[in-house]
Structure 1
Amino acid sequence: MFERITRREEADLFVAWIAISFAFAIIFLRDTGKVSPLLALTFLGVSLLTVGIGFILHEMAHKYVAIKYGYWAEFRKDNIMLVVAVALAALVGVVFAAPGATVIYTNSADGRGLSREENGKISASGPIVNLVLCIPFTAILILGGQGSTYTSSIVTMIGMIGLQVNAMIAAFNMLPVSVLDGKKVWAWNKPVFIVLIAAAFGALVLSFYPATLSSLL
């Protein structure tokens, strides 16, 4: 599987992962209203872990579903959008997580183009992965909340941030605008779009109310 990731793609994924992790770490640090080197490093470490899982698996889902349909696909970072993401997080307190895109290459020689259904399913695969990831991170959040030690606090933070990051990525990408996944899913299958965007924003809202989550499980 991983042998299909090129050196350039590895580099682009790495740069985007670091930049988006910094952006999320800044957001979560701003929300605490506290600034200390230890807290900043803690948020950065947790963001690197959770954003790494959510972002990379999102893009790999696009890649491997495209490969399944017989196309080649690679992630390409967008340097301008990476700078914008970090700048907005620092200045405004908003994460605009559009670090790049998985580019799908069709073979024009065989006269076969990307169909609306294929494009829709490839696009839906990323947000679906993030929604699935919300489940284990919710479990980690609840598990960590059962203790009061420093370790349990870190576990709780990983669960909370992992849940919020994946819900944010899913919800943002399901918006039916511009080049985002939601627009392609909407063009392919509107009922699927409605289910996915409702699930994404539902998970996002619940992620900010851990007590409600605990009562539901």
Structure 2
Amino acid sequence: MFERIPPHERRDLLIAWLAISTAFTLIFVRNRVDLSVALLYFVISLLTVGIGFVLHEMAHKFVAMHFGYWAEFQRDDQMLLVAVVLAALVGVVFAAPGATVVYGSSVSKRENGIISAAGPVSSLLICIPFALLAFFGGQWGLVGVIGYLGLKVNAMIAAFNMLPVSVLDGKKVLAWNPAAFVVLIVAAFGLLYLTYLI
């Protein structure tokens, strides 16, 4: 499997992983100056945001490859910078660190929809182990915090990507199958809403 991720794609994923984890760390430690707290939340971000982001993009890639197309993640340095600067200055993360590009002129609407849906579906699935950590890890224990943040952030990633605008996944899923779009966007925003009730 790893041989299908070329070195330049691994580098792009690593840089995007570090940048998006930095942006979320800045959100988590806002108005705190304790370096040890910042380092702890950076590690938590690597585990929660970072792993969720990588799995989301790899879901797109491997589903596309299942259909016989080459696909790879390409980072967007400008958007990575925007994510970190917005997090530092405004306290908001606009996480669009790049995209998985599918190469092939014959990609059908159905294939494109399924490839696009794979990312949000993976984000929703990864919420399950984080929800278990949040539930069994205790409200204020480290394991519980990791679980809660992982659940919330990955629900946020799924919800954001299901918006039916621009180049986001939701627009392609809606064009392929409106019923699948409704199921995924309701699941994503419903789960995100539940994280605010916990």
Q: Mark yes or no: TM-score above 0.5.
A: yes
Structure 1 counterpart SS, 2:29: helix
Could you say which residue in structure 1 is the equivalent of 2:83?
85
Is 1:171–2:173 an aligned residue pair? Answer: no
Residue of structure 1 aligned with 2:94, choices 93, 96, 99: 96
Could you say which residue in structure 2 is the equivalent of 1:215?
none
Structure 2 counterpart SS, 1:76: strand
CA RMSD of aligned residues (A): 1.2
> How much does 1:35 deviate?
2.9
Which whole-Å CA distance do the structure 1 matches of 2:107 and 2:90 have between them? 38
Is 1:204–2:192 an aligned residue pair? Answer: yes
Residue of structure 1 aligned with 2:170, choices 161, 166, 182: 182
Could you say which residue in structure 1 is the equivalent of 2:68?
70
> How much does 1:205 deviate?
1.2
In structure 1, list runs of 5 or more residues that go unmatched: 211-217
Q: Deviations over 1:173-216 (max 9, x none)?
A: 00101100001001101111011011111111111222xxxxxx
Could you say which residue in structure 2 is the equivalent of 1:214?
none
Is 1:195–2:193 an aligned residue pair? Answer: no
Structure 1 counterpart SS, 2:18: helix
Is 1:134–2:134 an aligned residue pair? Answer: no
Question: Which deviates more, 7-16 or 196-205?
Answer: 196-205
> How much does 1:34 deviate?
3.3
Structure 2 counterpart SS, 1:135: helix
Residue of structure 2 aligned with 1:143, choices 136, 149, 155: 136
Could you say which residue in structure 2 is the equivalent of 1:122?
115
Structure 2 counterpart SS, 1:102: strand
Q: How many residues align?
A: 198
> How much does 1:93 deviate?
1.0
> How much does 1:27 deviate?
1.0
Which whole-Å CA distance do the structure 2 matches of 1:204 and 1:87 have between them? 24
Q: Deviations over 1:121-178 (max 9, x none)?
A: 00000000010111110100011117x7xxxx11011101110110111011001011
Which whole-Å CA distance do the structure 1 matches of 2:152 and 2:21 have between them? 13
Structure 2 counterpart SS, 1:103: strand
Percent pairwise identity? 63
Which whole-Å CA distance do the structure 1 matches of 2:164 and 2:185 have between them? 9
Which whole-Å CA distance do the structure 2 matches of 1:201 and 1:82 have between them? 24
Amino acid at match of 2:45: S
Ranges of 4+ aligned residues in structure 1 off by more than 3 Å: none
Which whole-Å CA distance do the structure 2 matches of 1:86 and 1:204 have between them? 22
Which whole-Å CA distance do the structure 2 matches of 1:145 and 1:9 have between them? 37
Which whole-Å CA distance do the structure 2 matches of 1:155 and 1:35 have between them? 23
